[in-house]
Amino acid sequence: MKMTGAQIILECLKREGVKHIFGYPGGAVIDIYDELTRTPEIKHYLVRHEQAAVHAADGYARASDKVGVALVTSGPGATNTVTGIASAYMDSIPIVVFTGQVPTHLIGNDAFQEVDIVGITRPCTKHNYLVTDIRQLARTIHEAFYIARSGRPGPVLVDLPKNIQQASIVPEFPTEIKIKSYNPTIQANPRQVKRALDLILEAKQPVLYTGGGIIHANASQELLKFAEALQIPVTSTLMGLGGFPGIHPLWMGMLGMHGTYCANMAVANSDVLIAIGARFDDRVTGRLDAFAPNAKIIHIDIDPSSISKNVVVHIPIVGDCKNALHQLNNLIQKLPPRDWAQERQEWLARIKEWDRKHPLKYKKSKDVIKPQFVVEKLWEITGGDAYITTEVGQNQMWAAQFFKFKEARHFMTSGGLGAMGYGFPAAMGVQVAKPDATVIDIAGDGSILMNIQELTTVVENNLPVKIAILNNAYLGMVRQWQQLMYERRYSQTDLSAQPDFVKLAEAFGAVGLRATKPEEVEPVIRKAMEIKRPVVMDFVVDREECVMPMVPPGKATHEMLLA
Amino acid sequence: MPVQKTNRRHTISVWVDNIPGVLSRVTGLFSGRGFNIESLCVAETMDPEVSRITLVTSGDEQIIEQIIKQLRKLINTVKVVDLSELDHVEREMALVTVKAEDKSRAEVLRIADIFRCRVVDVSPTTYTLEITGTHEKLQAVLGLLKGHGILDIVRSGSLAIQRAKKD
């Protein structure tokens, strides 16, 4: 039976198991939107800016472990997705973005709403396609999903010219996707795994440094088993939070620029550093030559190009984190028993001592709300079971430090790209994936304005997302740098000209609540949790609070500024 | 682990899908990541679905390792081989129009003969020569011809192929 391109596209989505998409119509995708009216299996969420569609698909993908999907029109619709795509690329999030394109005969003519989105997104997608032949359409879409979710996941863009959507053929849907030039290594080399274990068994001061790869590979259970079996303390990157329980005795907190003192000291003093699904980002390592200077480094990663990119690795292991950890755990089971608790006693005691000396802390106040206090209260009141998204800056770091993530896939943040405006639309996507869960965007007063229009989307669809604005009326993280490194010249970071966030929420049809004193924080949160509608909580916080500790840029991680 | 920090010239063969946009993915990777391309040649192979790129780049061991890994990571890359690590033959070509008047006419021809260049075009005052050889040979010929006056020149990048096993 003949089908139009638009029908083929939606049929492919159904075959991929897609239930929800986020998008915004336009002239170049009108045929797909028309077909959507005859596709009850797929629910479309109408965002109010295309950037939000991509962040929502990203949040959806992280929470659900499925491929997130966004659909937008050509030209400006397509360019508005770029930030979202770049963010998903840096964080390895599987999404597929469909963009409309002018008809093939007009491509290159500077037609209305034409842009070379494949050219624009080439460096920030895992792969992208321009479909110029309807016979390739179905295969291309299935390839896009396959590439997005396999290996090191990432965003894939498919550009769909209007005449391809309108043309008709009898389609062939591939049952299996094989790409001869694309074969990610899943199975870790057993010999390398054995070498790694031998090194770990000799270590006196080992540290596990884990990243987003643990989350993507769903390897939390294997990590927990491994860490407990050999009593190895664990730290993780921002992207890895939740991959190891934040309340476990072996947990040291996040490492890096705003990591804990004990995590950074443990890494600096480690003799074997086991990096799993992490990529030695500059925000983690600080000054490279002083990062884990005495450690032999084992690096497990599915992406060979991540290995020995920034730091030269002694034992590289290419493969899926879960597979590698599973092999390690199997090998450990066959070992003669050793009293690891006893052997690690001294090392773990040193770490505990670092933690006791400089724990994460802030000056409590009775008069002014401390932002960290708000995050602590959110954690307490939700029992740590909420899904947390963040914007970027101080709000993001306080969320990472003071919310003790218990499980994987509960923390969504624009880690690599650091895109302000990510948190709220991402929360929207999370709420679609987890309709009954508590979803909170921990925001700043700067970031939240970058995608505030989505209040309409959450109100329209009754997505009960909660937004907690840590409102210091500053672009807080930049202000903090200006305070610490630019002699308090607060160039363009004072955001005290701001809307009344409570009234703003109400204007959109959401609920607005405000707390200005510490004793109001808990009642506001409790009230927000009871309301089954979108709520904006405006916490008026200490204006000049800094995120501490802090490794100044270009310094070694042990040269931290402490609170 | 000690890293060898000395820069070396590497000739790398990359087999890629022969479809539009692939070359841009390869060159975009180099510019986006700050790698350097000294020369680049690309054409279809015997299999019309595959093109072979020969590119010359330089960097220390770690950079070359990154370049190769990043090339392999491209979805359209079929195979990457660093020919510099193998026994291989490398050739470049140049077409050069040299001033050749009166007394220098014979001298230019003599140079062409010594280096086995071919004369591909003649005018009363010029010769156009085809020169093929290694990078070093081309440099040598061009150095000699320079004195006579080079009017126009075009050079290919390096082409390289692995030597066949002899036994």
Q: Report whether A255 contacts A263 (CB < 8 A).
A: yes
| Fold of the domain spanning B89-162 | Alpha-Beta Plaits (3.30.70)
B78 contacts A181? CB cut-off 8 A = yes
B69 contacts A305? CB cut-off 8 A = yes
Query: Of A3, A254, A477, A548, which one is the catalytic site residue?
Result: A477
Q: Cα B109 to chain center, whole Å?
A: 25
B75 contacts A147? CB cut-off 8 A = yes
Q: Is A226 designated active site?
A: no
For B77, name the nearest residue in chain A, comparing CA atoms only: A181
**pLDDT tens digit sequence for A4-36:** 999 999 999 999 999 999 999 999 999 999 999
ipTM of this complex: 0.90
**pLDDT tens digit sequence for A543-562:** 999 999 999 988 998 888 98
**pLDDT tens digit sequence for A333-358:** 999 999 999 999 999 999 999 999 99
Give A400's Cβ-side CA count (13 Å radius).
32
Measured between CA atoms, how close is B6 to chain A, in angstroms?
16
Q: CB count, 10 Å around CB of A55?
A: 38
- The dihedral region occupied by A409, where left means phi > 0, alpha psi between -120 and 50, and beta the remainder, is left
**pLDDT tens digit sequence for B54-78:** 999 999 999 999 999 999 999 999 9
Mean pLDDT value across residues A269-297: 94
- The dihedral region occupied by A477, where left means phi > 0, alpha psi between -120 and 50, and beta the remainder, is alpha
Residue type, A486: Y
Mean pLDDT value across residues A112-134: 98
Q: Is B17 on the interface with A (CB under 8 A)?
A: yes
Of B17, B25, B77, the CB nearest to A122: B25
For B73, name the nearest residue in chain A, comparing CA atoms only: A305
Q: Is A112 designated active site?
A: yes
3-class state of residue A360 by DSSP: coil
Give the pLDDT score at B4. Answer: 53
For A185, name the nearest residue in chain B, comparing CA atoms only: B73
Q: Report whether A262 contacts A270 (CB < 8 A).
A: no
Q: How many helices (H) does chain A have, and how many strands (E)?
A: 22, 20
Whether the pLDDT of residue B2 is over 50: the answer is: no
Mutation target vs B (from A305, A309, A311, A313; most B CBs, 10 A cutoff): A305
In chain A, the largest separation of any two C-alpha atoms, in whole Å, equals 73
Measured between CA atoms, how close is B10 to chain A, in angstroms?
18
C-alpha–C-alpha distance, residues A273 and A283, integer Å = 17
How would residue A563 be classed by pLDDT, with cut points 50, 70 and 90? confident
Whether the pLDDT of residue A142 is over 50: the answer is: yes
Three-point CA angle A428, A434, A438, nearest 5°? 75
Looking at chain A, the whole-number percentage of residues with pLDDT higher than 70 is 100
Mean pLDDT value across residues A230-257: 97
Query: What does the mean pLDDT of chain A come to?
Result: 97
Close Cβ partners of B85 (under 8 Å, ≥ 6 residues apart): none
Q: Please list the alpha-helical segments (H only) found in A312-454.
A: 321-333, 340-357, 371-382, 394-402, 423-433
C-alpha–C-alpha distance, residues A190 and A196, integer Å = 10
How would residue B32 be classed by pLDDT, with cut points 50, 70 and 90? very high
Q: Report whether A412 contacts A63 (CB < 8 A).
A: yes
Mutation target vs B (from A92, A130, A181; most B CBs, 10 A cutoff): A181
Three-point CA angle A115, A120, A121, nearest 5°? 125
A181 contacts B17? CB cut-off 8 A = yes
Give the pLDDT score at B167. Answer: 74
For A181, name the nearest residue in chain B, comparing CA atoms only: B78
DSSP string spanning A222-268? Answer: HHHHHHHHHT--EEE-GGGTTSS-TTSTTEEEE-STT--HHHHHHHH
Whether the pLDDT of residue A203 is over 70: the answer is: yes
Give the pLDDT score at B102. Answer: 86
Q: Is A431 designated active site?
A: no
Query: Of A16, A35, A50, A391, which one is the catalytic site residue?
Result: A50
Q: Is A453 designated active site?
A: no
Give the pLDDT score at A145. Answer: 98
A122 contacts B24? CB cut-off 8 A = yes
B73 contacts A312? CB cut-off 8 A = no
- Higher-pLDDT residue of B96 and A180 is B96
C-alpha–C-alpha distance, residues A428 and A421, integer Å = 12
β-pairing verdict for B88-99 and B126-133? antiparallel
Q: Domains in chain A, please, with CATH?
A: 3-169 (3.40.50.970), 190-357 (3.40.50.1220), 371-540 (3.40.50.970)
Q: Report whether A87 contacts A417 (CB < 8 A).
A: yes
A→B interface, C-beta within 8 Å: 118-119, 122-123, 126-127, 130, 147, 179-182, 303-305, 307-309, 312-314
- What angle, rounded to 10 degrees, do the helices at A220-230 and A321-333 form? 30
Mean pLDDT value across residues B91-115: 94
Q: CB count, 10 Å around CB of A239?
A: 30
C-alpha–C-alpha distance, residues A180 and B15, integer Å = 12
Instruction: Find where tokens 């939240």 sit.
Output: A448
Q: Which two tokens stand for residue A96?
A: 């597929």
Of B16, B28, B65, the CB nearest to A123: B28
**pLDDT tens digit sequence for A215-231:** 999 999 999 999 999 99
Measured between CA atoms, how close is A461 to chain B, in angstroms?
38
CA torsion A53-A59-A63-A69 (nearest 10°) is: 30
Q: Is B164 on the interface with A (CB under 8 A)?
A: no
The domain spans of chain B are 8-86, 89-162
Measured between CA atoms, how close is A349 to chain B, in angstroms?
30
Burial bucket for residue B62 (CB in 10 Å: 0-12, 13-18, 19+):
middle
Q: Is A50 designated active site?
A: yes
**pLDDT tens digit sequence for A39-86:** 999 999 999 999 999 999 999 999 999 999 999 999 999 999 999 999
Q: How many helices (H) does chain B have, and how many strands (E)?
A: 4, 9
Q: Is B75 on the interface with A (CB under 8 A)?
A: yes
C-alpha–C-alpha distance, residues A542 and A294, integer Å = 40
Mean pLDDT value across residues A106-132: 97
Whether the pLDDT of residue B5 is over 80: the answer is: no
Measured between CA atoms, how close is A233 to chain B, in angstroms?
24
Q: Which two tokens stand for residue A249?
A: 């005795």
Give the pLDDT score at A554. Answer: 87
Whether the pLDDT of residue B3 is over 60: the answer is: no
CATH architecture, domain B8-86: 2-Layer Sandwich (3.30)
Measured between CA atoms, how close is B92 to chain A, in angstroms?
29
Whether the pLDDT of residue B108 is over 60: the answer is: yes
A312 contacts B3? CB cut-off 8 A = yes
Task: Kindly report which listed range (A213-217, A306-310, A512-516) carries the lowest average pLDDT score.
Answer: A306-310
Give the pLDDT score at B1. Answer: 43
Mean pLDDT value across residues A282-289: 90
Mean pLDDT value across residues B43-59: 96
Same-fold call for B8-86 versus B89-162: yes
Q: State yes or no: cis peptide before A293, omega within 30 of 0.
A: no
Give the pLDDT score at A164. Answer: 98
